[in-house]
Amino acid sequence: MRCGKCWASSEQRRSQASSSWRSLENERAWFSLRFSQQKKSRGVSNGGSVGATPHVVFVLGGPGSGKGTQCALIAEEEALGYAHLSAGDLLRAERNSGSELAGMINEFIREGKIVPAEVTVGLLRKAMEKSGKSRFLIDGFPRNPDNLAAWEASTAGGAVVVDFALFLDCPEEIMTERIMERGRSSGRIDDNEEAIRKRLVTYRESTMPIIKEFEARGKLREVNSDQTIEEVAVEVRRHISAIA
């Protein structure tokens, strides 16, 4: 005989699973509709043909590896036509918006944990639509296998093409020094020693398997980011220019 508490817990898990599935179905439908509409339109933007299938480069690496800095530099080059979308920045903006998701996102970020995939995918697709471009550098996503599965489920059918994942490899001690330095002026709640430790654990345990997965698929490009910003930028641009 099931106890009431166990039964409630089981029902809650089923409800959450059902909700997640519906969310992914909605995201898949959105991508299919949005980009089928784009293909019917005419005109050219800096990001390529408006009707072109969107192309994505995932930019991965540990906290403090330079993902945001390098993406911003590429996005400044209009000839390359890339929009830079930072999963972390989108989540922080939503957290500060006062929306119904804000409290939940705030707690996950404070603890150095990964926000549920459906939330991040939803924020990314809205930003993609708003950008008006068809080439994207997505910084800090996917961060774990659930993120990747949610992305691939929502873009099934070729609605979005992932060209490759760019891995900015950097020693943990260097990343920690960079974040501590940034924390003196950033005001970010996750730029403190305890949160950094948790983020590095998450990176090792959750994000590295994603990097290995892209490597196994033959879709990983690696750059040593323990160099000056300018030196790293040269290597990053070489990889991006090869497909732009």
Binding residues for CMP: 147
- Residue 187 gets which letter from DSSP? -
215: left (phi over 0), alpha (psi -120 to 50) or beta: alpha
Could you list the residues known to form a binding site, using ranges. 64-69, 92, 113-115, 140-143, 147, 182, 188, 199, 227
Could you list the residues known to form a binding site for a ribonucleoside 5'-phosphate, using ranges. 92, 113-115, 140-143, 188, 199
Residue 49 to residues 3, 35, 39, 134, 159, Cα–Cα distance (Å) = 59, 12, 9, 7, 15
Q: What is the CA radius of gyration of the chain?
A: 19
Could you list the residues known to form a binding site for ATP, using ranges. 64-69, 182, 227
